[in-house]
A and B are shown apart, each in its own frame.
Chain A
C-alpha cells in the first residue's frame, strides 16, 4: 500500500501525485517507470516516475486521464492508498556525462522527458527543451523543464502560448540557427515522435523515443509489450522503454495500441455512468 501524499492539477485531466514508495525512490533512475494497480479489480498500468525524492522516500507520477484506470486514479485524494506499486522498471536512460541533448515533450510526454532532462543536467550536460501541446492549457511542467533546460521553447498548435506551430518546427528552427546536439529525446504521441524522427533521420542525428506499449507484468514475462526495432523483436518493459527512434516500427506499435479499443471504450462508459450517479 502506497499513500498519496499530495495531488495537484497541472492541466485539464492531468494530475501530479507524490506518493510514498521508499525503496523505489532510492533505486530509480531517469527513464524508469512503475506499474500500479489501484483496486482488486484493477488492471496493471505503467506510469513513468516523473521525479523522486530519495531522502523523503517519495516519487511523483504525472497522470493523464485517458481511460477508466487513469481517470479513476486521478480522482483519488491525498491520504488514500494505491494498492500496488512495483518498480522501478525498465532500463534507465543512457546518460553520457557532459552530453548535449534536446528534450522534446508533447503533451503528457513532457512528464516522461523531464526526468531525462534533469538527469542529463545533473551529469553535467547541456539541455535544450521543447514543449508542445494543442493549446496553452495543456502545456505542463514548463517551469520544471525550464529550470534544467536553456533555452526551453514552447509551441502550441493555436499559438495561445509560445510559438505557433509544432515541436518539429521549433526543432528545425534550432537546428537552422546553429544548435548542435549529441542526441534528441522525443516523447509524446506516436505521430509526434515519428515526425521528429523524420526531421532528424536525414541529418543522422541520434533520436531516442520512449515507447508506451500496452503492458501487463512489466518484467519480461508476457511479451505483450513487444515491438519491432530494426527488424528485431524487443520487449519495451525490459529492453526499453527507450529505443532508437529511427529503427522503431511505429506503424506496428500504433496498431498494437489499438488492440483493446472497443473494450476500453466500454469500460470507460460504464465507469463514467457509475461515477455520475
Chain B
C-alpha cells in the first residue's frame, strides 16, 4: 500500500530576488538545501504503478531515487540517477517537467506533483560538490571506432553510452566549445556553463576524444569519416540550428537578430562581458522579442540583463498557447517583461543609419482550430500599432542546417530537410549512419534529444557487434 499523503504543495524553491537578478547573469533558481530536499522527497507516496517513470523519456527510477533522498542517502540517489541519465544536473534544471515526469505524478491529480526536477538537480549538484563521479561500468575496449557529429545533448548521451560499451568514440563539433544548445543557447542564469563543462569533463574521462572546430560537411564529409578516417558507424546529432526570419520589410536593419545570434553572442561569446571579451552585442534600451517559446523567454531575459529598460515579448496567440515553460514565463514577468499577446510584426522601420527604431505590429484574433488543434491567429484589419525599439530578436522557430544534407546526397531527408531516421533506433537509410535529436524531430527538448542518443547508442552497439561477427 502506498504511503499517506502529507504536504500538498511543492516545497518552494529559493530564487534570487527579481529586482536583483534582472541585472545579473547569476542563476535565478538557487536550489534546495539538504533539509528542503528531504522535506520534498518525503511527499512521494510511492504509488504502486509509478506513472512518473513513464513520463520520463530516459526512464529514471524516480520513486527509487526520491526514496533515497528522503532517507538522506544522497550518494545512493546519485547512483540511481546516473544509471539512466548522463546529464542530471542539466535535466533537473531545464526539463519541462510539467509536461513529463511531473505531469504523470499521481499526487498531481489532486495536489501539486512531487518536484522531481528540483530533487534531481539537488542530487546532481550534491554529487558535483563532493566530486562524486559516476563510475558506471565500462566494458573492455572493443576496438571499434564510432564518430559522433554534433555535441548537443543527443551527441553527448550517445557518446557516453558508446564509450561505456567499450567503443572508441570521437566527437566532432563545429563550434569551438562542445555542448550544443546547452552551451550557446540556454543562458547562464538558467543553466550555468560550468555545469555543462563539468558534464563534458566526465565524458572526456570516459575516453571520448572531442574535436572542436570540425565542421562536418566541410572539414570532413560523412563519407570521409568512413573512408578516410576509418569510422565504422556514426551518429548525427547536429540539432536544428537554422534561424527563420519572417519576410517583412526592414528585416536586415542593424539591431535585428535571430535568437541564435543574440544568444550565441551573449552565452558562447560572453558579449555581456564586453570589452573584457571581444565580441560585441547591441545593448538595446528598448528590446522586443518575437515568439513565445523557451528561446524567446531566454532572449528577452537576456535583454534585461544587458540593460534593457523596456522589454516586450510579442506573441501572436494567447497566453494559453505559449509553448514556453510556465515557470519561465512567470520568471520573465516578475523581472518586468511586458508580454504583448495576440500581435505579430508586419514591418520594421529604421533611422538614417539603418538602425531599427520601430516595430510595427498588427493585432490578431484567434480563429478556427488548425490541424494541430491550436486556434490559428488571424490579423485584424487596420489594427496596426508601433513599438519604439532599438533591438528586435526573432525567436520564431528553427530549421535544419543544410551543410550535411547538401554534401551527403545518399542520406534521405524529409521535406523540411530533417534526416529520416527510425525513432526507436536512429537507423537512417545510409548504412552505418544513425541520427537523433532535433536534426530528426525538429526543435524539441533536451531530454528527448538525450533519449534519441541513448536509443541510437544501443542500436549502434548491436550494429558493431554484427559487423564484428561478419568479420570473424
Contact = CB atoms under 8 A, between A and B. Distances in A.
Interface residues on B, range: 35 or more
Interface in A106-133: none
Interface residues of A, number: 42
Contact of A222 (B254, B258, B402): B258
A85 B251 CA distance: 31
Contacts of B247: 233
A10 interface: no
Interface string A261-277: 00110110010000000
Contacts of A8: none
B264 A256 contact: no
B218 A87 contact: yes
A222 B243 contact: yes
Interface in A24-66: 24, 27, 37, 41-44
A162 interface: no
A233 B254 CA distance: 15
Interface in B158-215: 174-176, 212-215
A219 B278 contact: no
Interface string A169-197: 00000000000000000000000000000
B254 A84 contact: no
Nearest to A89: B218
**Secondary structure at chain B's binding surface: helix, strand, loop or mixed?**
loop
A226 B269 CA distance: 19
B254 A258 contact: yes
Nearest to A267: B275
Contacts of A259: 254-255, 282
Interface in B18-47: none
Contact of A223 (B176, B214, B220, B261): B261
B213 A256 contact: no
A270 B275 CA distance: 8
B103 interface: no
Contacts of B215: 86-87, 89, 218-219
B269 to A, nearest CB: 7
A227 B242 CA distance: 16
A144 B279 CA distance: 34
A221 B241 contact: yes
B251 A233 contact: yes
Contact of B245 (A27, A41, A233): A233
A78 interface: no
B368 interface: no
B403 A220 contact: yes
A216 B265 contact: yes
Contacts of A84: 176, 212-213
Nearest to A90: B218
Given A44-B269, A86-B213, A220 B401 contact: yes
Contacts of B269: 43-44, 216
B26 to A, nearest CB: 20
Interface in B255-289: 255, 257-258, 260-261, 264-265, 269-270, 274-280, 282
B340 to A, nearest CB: 23
B274 A267 contact: yes
A170 to B, nearest CB: 32
B90 to A, nearest CB: 21
B261 A216 contact: yes
Interface of B: 174-176, 212-215, 218-220, 241-243, 245, 247, 251-255, 257-258, 260-261, 264-265, 269-270, 274-280, 282, 353-354, 401-403
- Top 4 nearest A-B pairs by Cβ distance? A255-B354, A222-B261, A263-B280, A86-B213
6 contacts: A41-B276, A216-B261, A220-B401, A226-B245, A258-B353, A267-B275
